[in-house]
Structure 1
Amino acid sequence: MNTSIRILAAACLLSACAYFDRAPSDSSSSSRPAADVGAARLAAADGEPGNWMTHGGTYQEQRFSRLDRINQDNVGRLGLAWTYKLDLDRGVEATPIVVDGVMYTTGPFSMVYALDARSGELLWKYDPGVTKTRARDGCCGPVNRGVAVWQGKVYVGAYDGRLIALDAATGEPVWSVDTLIDKNRSYTVTGAPRVVKGKVIIGNGGAEFGVRGYITAYDADTGKQAWRFFTVPGDPAKPPENEAMARARETWFGDQYWKQGGGGTVWDSMAYDPELDLLYIGTGNGSLWNRQARSDGKGDNLYLSSIVALRPDTGEYVWHYQTTPGDQWDFTATQTITLADLEIDGEMRPVLMQAPKNGFYYVLDRRTGELISAEKYAPANWAERVDPATGRPVVNQDVADWTQGPRLLVPGPLGAHNWQPMSFSPDTGLAYIPVQEAPAMMVPDNDATFRGKSRFQVGSEPVALPEDADTLAKTVAAYKGRLVAWDPVAQKEVWRQPFPSIWNGGVLSTAGGLVFQGNVTGTVAAYDAADGDKLWEAPANTGVVAGPVTYEVDGEQYVTFMAGWGGVFPLAFGGLAANAKVQPEARILTYKLDGDATLPEPRRRAVAVPEALPPLTADAATVDQGRDLYNDNCGLCHGFSAMGGGVVPDLRYMDGDTHKAFPGIVAGLYQDKGMPSFAGRLTPEQVEAIHQYVIKRAHDLKDSL
């Protein structure tokens, strides 16, 4: 295909760049205009299974497809139809949107791609120009979970907080708004927008860095703000924004919560019921995690870790259900919110379902928020059960209250289910959940306060991973992943597929009796939806964490996985992913029956510990200081205890020239490569202590080989 690429003057327009690759005139299987999606079409999306028009497939967010051309009988014939290499090899978490033969998706740093869904040919791409050093302002890498489309526009939330509308036919920017309320706080946007009744709705992240959570709706045509709903109260010297915030204030204590930000960010899941006209949002953890430091150790701290129902026209509060009152474990309720109608005790009930981090599977009446049932879908020692009379967890304080001393918690802050989307099949009546066991030792810092922008602050001591081989091996063995089929009516597990580690991909179920998932081992697979038998598998060259989609063009069904290793576990805890193929390689992988395309050979990281390492010259006390400084300032990106996961450089492998440049790199020498400056944050003596600790860890690694 003859292509021409033209570059917009980004510095003059939205501080961004857009590139356009001209498509052939027949690039779509439809004569419709690009992204011709409105209210009626979205509300009836289940009737158009050939398209994937919104984040969860439909407003119900079931991630289930009625397509069945690919089924249990022929799934073994799946072959690669096409692949497209993304620009940046970082974490890939997007769910593609497919409308009338065109795929719209995103990569790291919020880059947007439009491709011919049959061939993978690039139609256009758009780079919002996010400054690479902004990666320091987020917990989990510069990831993005996808776009929304509406009436000829594509909407993306940029990592730096902008919400941008693009022309769906060309990729040219139409409008851009800054969604952030405080530039002195580390807000980020990684979630996919949703469009409801002509309003683009977006939240944000940053609770671990000290922000106040909120969600905002903007006019889809103009970008004008329509409403904003705060999820936690602000400065008590100012009047509350509404009655919901007035009620929330009664559940917070002391004078630290609003100074620390409060948290409760809406960084991922939403769902919408057109009949009830209710928008459901999931809110995140507290800021700080430590309730002793955040709220004098008491109070439910509304609306942390909650499901909240709002009116999409106005943002008016309707009801809430708090999965983890007074959350101090990072047990977010931002995981997939799924709507369905289930027969319970002989009665059809409109329900809302969620498997949040805390290990309990919740079934609520979505009209009122009433708890129908909640049972453990994974090991959870922090609570015995959820009391059906009160809807509250019965907390095991001796185990759970880590503010009183170190506690081993299951699940830990990584959760029993993280952001990777689950699926629900109305055919089988089962939910399919990427479950994980990820224990954590929590050690309190009860005097913690807000430490400023770009600082990870949770009210616990710096995280460290075991440095001796035997303890590390035991820790690795304790981290277990699996795909679980869960009966939400009987509240019991039906089948499971185990994986060698956590951080496996999101899930898709189909009318072909299949469940698709990528995983930590660098493969993609299909399972029998009824019994979990593996029916198909293919290499992906890298860990896969995003949720797959399926669509149909010109009578051919396709299945697409966004592949790319990243997120908080590979970055911070990569040393625990012992069985993962963690080389970062970001690609779109699309399959069809009898596809015969070839996946390029995986890129092997040619890394080895240098033969000549700098000598360790510091005493034990300095190395210990360096360990704590490293884990506090560097571990979240380069791996705690200097054990990297391959997404960004593992500092144990630095060569001699890099060791010599180490002070300059920390001071900002590599900012153009995305390494932020720590000048003014670390003294030269502290930088040298960190360097000595890294040198020690390099020697440790070399001695172990």
Structure 2
Amino acid sequence: MTSVSLARAISTALLCGALATPAWAAPAAMPTEASITANQATGKEWPSHGFDHAGTRFSPLTQISRDNVAKLGLAWSYDLESTRGVEATPIVVNGVMYVTASWSVVHAVDVKTGKRLWSFDPKVPREQAFMACCDVVNRGVAVHEGKVYVGTLDGRLVAIDAASGKRLWEQDTVEDRSRPYTITGAPRVFRGNVIIGNGGAEFGVRGYITAYDAATGKEKWRWYTVPGDPSKPFEDASMEAAAKTWDPAGKWWETGGGGTVWNSMVFDPELNLMYIGTGNGSPWNHRLRSPAGGDNLYLASIVALRPDTGEYVWHYQETPGDNWDYTSVQDLILADLTLDGKPRKVVMHAPKNGFFFVIDRVTGEFISAKNFVDVNWTKGYDANGRPIDVPEARSGQPYDAIPGPFGAHNWHSMSYSPQTGLAYFPAQNIPLNLSADTSWKGYGTNKPGQPMSNIGWNLGTALNVEAPTSKPFGRLLAWDPVKQQERWRYEHVAPWNGGTLATAGKLVFQGTADARLMAFDADTGKVLWQSPMGTGVIAAPVTYEVDGEQYVSIAAGWGGVFGQSQRASENNTPGTVYTFKLNGKAAMPAFTQHQAGNLLSGVKYDPAHVEEGTALYVSNCLFCHGVPGVDKGGNLPNLGYVDRMFIENLDRFVFNGPFTSLGMPDFTGRLSAEDVEKIKAFIQGTADAVRPPQP
């Protein structure tokens, strides 16, 4: 063979190989800890949940700016084939988007065309949906060295081949299958370990966070957030110290204790520290789980750990003796600020309890805290970083807690721009009155009248014994963490708006509950652009660059604990990824209108059953279906507007009915036939009560 023919043969072989291997195939080193750090300068990809290790959700891209954002148009859309909540932050690397839908289903999408490359369904058992307090959602994946990692709703961690979508390995993260553990959060990869926490504190579990070898799936370490049975050896010194802040008379270890790590994790490679936020107590009522009081470490805290070993380093507790479901799992952001003329390495946080915190991330020292909404559970924080109690808020008597358990800021993502020095996050109030449940008998006991107690929500706290008096709102805040003050705000029409994205183009993007994607001037809050969405938006946008063009993408799909029964939009389009670029010309997919139907009528019932039916409805149906005929319905139907046939034959649907395959609980053994008749009486009786008078 001549040199020319040999060259041609080699060229042909290389060409055939290139054609045979899709352009999107993932190289083995995609991405790594180092590449995530390097990407901070270019912003061409979105390789990690919060963009970078610090979780800033700030992109240095400037092609789309406040001067031209009005020219944004749709580049493509992608159907996630989901009718439940979509909370995922897409990951974008090497021209591929990896994004999750409800039920922990993973999709790989070509970012230039919006075409599906593969999808992976981990086959979450639908009958386990009731174990998830807050919809069958998933916040996304981690991608590391050619593998995609997803946590599943039923508590598994799965590694998937990034190129083919094939399962590589799987680990069961649940240490006790008798308890209802879930996963809704996105994994992270730090120091070669893929790290994941769990949910379930409303149902009585012990919180922990676990690291697995990213290559093999072998468990490397586990750190518990609350102590176990004090009669047994503690796992480490941090658990022994924590146990001193709990009262053994409450036997917290029997009810789990709570403290689940279901969302935020960030990492400082230079300090070799990872930071996590921990959740609420199990049960909510402080005096039930710890009768003599105590701070109950490490609930509602920021905790610093070594990512290699899980070693505890320091903590700061934001809500000692949590009594209001004030989780601290909302997005943590690492930044370097100049405070009192000195540079400080800090972690910034705006958790449920309504205060914006600035904490030294080297030592855990409290620096400052200022409320970003009105609060009535504390008078503020003293110089030592301890809240000043309002006794009435802990009295056990009905109290209109502000903020309520939905939080002044929930999991919806925060961003921080070093360019403007501002943090951007959704704030809200969803009124809820709290009081002590003095007859609480522990988990697994139903109490008619207690919301969702018959499916495990044994909170130890009674809700709305008295009607709340505060007003609901939703707003976007721009917050100065140095001056600890609001710079600007935008008032939305309702609470439960989406997370934010900040860019060097001096823009802030946010999706809204009323089904819009909006762009704001990062300095002033002026609305510069908006596009209709087919559904309410709760997730956060991302941005990236492909072949010299900047794109903005968002995964939209209404839901979450509030969105299951409430809505602020008349659109009801299935979950969709929308991707925009300058002068994009693609047509929007057809939007589907929410069909509330006619108010229920004609179901025969005994009016004497309405009172008992009310209590039964509250303990079985309320958080999913809302108040019949009063609420509009969220991503689940309001039973005051369904076809009469469903309510007349309600027993056929609640006892191992056809909707169990969609996630509805099977109430066999939980309800009797007589109970169902009483629930029917409440549904039709309430519809009759709210029916407008006929002319």
TM-score range, shorter chain: over 0.9
| TM-aligned CA distance change 1:447 to 1:458, over 3 Å | same
TM-score (norm 1): 0.91
Count of residues in correspondence between the two structures: 665
Between 39-48 and 645-654, the greater mean CA deviation after superposition: 39-48
| TM-aligned CA distance change 1:131 to 1:402, over 3 Å | farther
State the match for 2:462 in structure 1.
461
CA contact 1:584–1:646 (8 Å) conserved in 2: no
Can you list the C-alpha shifts for 1:389-414, whole angstroms capped at 9, x where unaligned? x211111112x1152x1001110001
Distance between the aligned counterparts of 1:326 and 1:493, measured in 2?
28
CA contact 1:609–1:698 (8 Å) conserved in 2: no
Matched, 1:525 2:514: no
Q: State the 1:447 CA deviation.
A: 3.4
| TM-aligned CA distance change 1:465 to 1:135, over 3 Å | farther
Secondary structure of the 2:345 match is strand
CA contact 1:379–1:437 (8 Å) conserved in 2: no
CA contact 2:429–2:472 (8 Å) conserved in 1: yes
List aligned pairs for 1:186-225, cutoff 5 A. Answer: 186-225=180-219
Secondary structure of the 2:344 match is strand
Q: State the 1:25 CA deviation.
A: 6.4
Secondary structure of the 1:275 match is coil
Between 377-386 and 658-667, the greater mean CA deviation after superposition: 658-667
List aligned pairs for 1:396-545, cutoff 5 A. Answer: 396-398=390-392, 400-403=393-396, 405-452=397-444, 454-462=455-463, 478-545=471-538
Q: Which amino acid aligns with 1:544?
A: V
List aligned pairs for 1:364-379, cutoff 5 A. Answer: 364-379=359-374
Secondary structure of the 1:624 match is helix
State the match for 1:592 in structure 2.
581
State the match for 2:653 in structure 1.
665
State the match for 2:161 in structure 1.
167
CA contact 1:307–1:320 (8 Å) conserved in 2: yes
Secondary structure of the 1:703 match is coil
| TM-aligned CA distance change 1:598 to 1:27, over 3 Å | farther
Between 647-656 and 194-203, the greater mean CA deviation after superposition: 647-656
State the match for 1:269 in structure 2.
264
CA contact 2:648–2:680 (8 Å) conserved in 1: no
Q: State the 1:449 CA deviation.
A: 3.4
State the match for 2:449 in structure 1.
none
Distance between the aligned counterparts of 2:190 and 2:628, measured in 1?
45
Can you list the C-alpha shifts for 1:25-72, whole angstroms capped at 9, x where unaligned? 68647x861771122212333124010000000000000000000001
Q: Which amino acid aligns with 2:505?
A: G
CA contact 1:290–1:446 (8 Å) conserved in 2: no
Secondary structure of the 1:246 match is helix
State the match for 2:615 in structure 1.
628
List aligned pairs for 1:97-246, cutoff 5 A. Answer: 97-246=91-240
State the match for 2:9 in structure 1.
none
List aligned pairs for 1:513-662, cutoff 5 A. Answer: 513-572=506-565, 574=566, 577=567, 579-581=568-570, 583=572, 585-609=574-598, 612-619=601-608, 622-640=609-627, 643=631, 645-662=633-650
| TM-aligned CA distance change 1:113 to 1:374, over 3 Å | same
| TM-aligned CA distance change 1:79 to 1:323, over 3 Å | same
CA contact 1:463–1:632 (8 Å) conserved in 2: no
Secondary structure of the 1:408 match is coil
CA contact 1:332–1:357 (8 Å) conserved in 2: yes
Distance between the aligned counterparts of 1:241 and 1:631, measured in 2?
40
Secondary structure of the 1:626 match is helix
Between 266-275 and 231-240, the greater mean CA deviation after superposition: 231-240
Secondary structure of the 1:105 match is strand
Q: Which amino acid aligns with 2:420?
A: T
CA contact 1:433–1:483 (8 Å) conserved in 2: yes
| TM-aligned CA distance change 1:24 to 1:647, over 3 Å | farther
TM-score (norm 2): 0.93
Matched, 1:361 2:356: yes
Distance between the aligned counterparts of 1:493 and 1:153, measured in 2?
41
Distance between the aligned counterparts of 1:582 and 1:411, measured in 2?
28
Q: Which amino acid aligns with 1:603?
A: T
Matched, 1:74 2:75: no
List aligned pairs for 1:24-63, cutoff 5 A. Answer: 28=23, 33=27, 36-63=30-57
Can you list the C-alpha shifts for 1:279-337, whole angstroms capped at 9, x where unaligned? 10000000100011111050100000000000001100000000000001111100010
Distance between the aligned counterparts of 1:667 and 1:24, measured in 2?
54
Distance between the aligned counterparts of 1:160 and 1:530, measured in 2?
43
Structure 1: state its 5+ residue gaps. Answer: 1-22
Q: State the 1:610 CA deviation.
A: 5.8
Secondary structure of the 2:48 match is coil
CA contact 1:92–1:563 (8 Å) conserved in 2: yes
Q: State the 1:697 CA deviation.
A: 2.2
Q: State the 1:704 CA deviation.
A: 6.7
Q: State the 1:195 CA deviation.
A: 0.2
Q: State the 1:640 CA deviation.
A: 4.8
Distance between the aligned counterparts of 2:572 and 2:532, measured in 1?
13
CA contact 2:571–2:591 (8 Å) conserved in 1: no
Can you list the C-alpha shifts for 1:160-214, whole angstroms capped at 9, x where unaligned? 0000000000100000010001111111100000001110000000101111100
| TM-aligned CA distance change 1:27 to 1:387, over 3 Å | farther
Distance between the aligned counterparts of 1:330 and 1:297, measured in 2?
19
| TM-aligned CA distance change 1:616 to 1:287, over 3 Å | same
Between 310-319 and 453-462, the greater mean CA deviation after superposition: 453-462
CA contact 1:42–1:59 (8 Å) conserved in 2: yes
CA contact 1:28–1:100 (8 Å) conserved in 2: no
Distance between the aligned counterparts of 1:96 and 1:446, measured in 2?
44
Q: State the 1:236 CA deviation.
A: 2.1
Can you list the C-alpha shifts for 1:220-265, whole angstroms capped at 9, x where unaligned? 1111100000001112221111100001111111143111110000
State the match for 2:387 in structure 1.
393
CA contact 1:198–1:219 (8 Å) conserved in 2: yes
Distance between the aligned counterparts of 1:286 and 1:166, measured in 2?
34
Pick aligned residue for 2:676 from 669, 687, 704: 687
Secondary structure of the 2:416 match is strand
Secondary structure of the 1:320 match is strand
Q: State the 1:356 CA deviation.
A: 0.4
Distance between the aligned counterparts of 1:354 and 1:582, measured in 2?
33
Q: Which amino acid aligns with 2:478?
A: A
CA contact 1:520–1:581 (8 Å) conserved in 2: no
| TM-aligned CA distance change 1:704 to 1:76, over 3 Å | farther
Can you list the C-alpha shifts for 1:333-358, whole angstroms capped at 9, x where unaligned? 00010001011111111110000000
Q: State the 1:663 CA deviation.
A: 1.1
Structure 2: state its 5+ residue gaps. Answer: 1-17, 446-454
Q: State the 1:600 CA deviation.
A: 2.2
Secondary structure of the 1:668 match is coil
Indicate the percent of aligned positions where both proteins have the same amino acid: 49
Kindly name which structure, 1 or 2, has the bigger radius of gyration based on alpha carbons: 2
Q: Which amino acid aligns with 2:669?
A: G
CA contact 2:600–2:640 (8 Å) conserved in 1: no
Q: State the 1:439 CA deviation.
A: 2.8
CA contact 1:269–1:282 (8 Å) conserved in 2: yes
CA contact 1:644–1:651 (8 Å) conserved in 2: no
Between 488-497 and 432-441, the greater mean CA deviation after superposition: 432-441
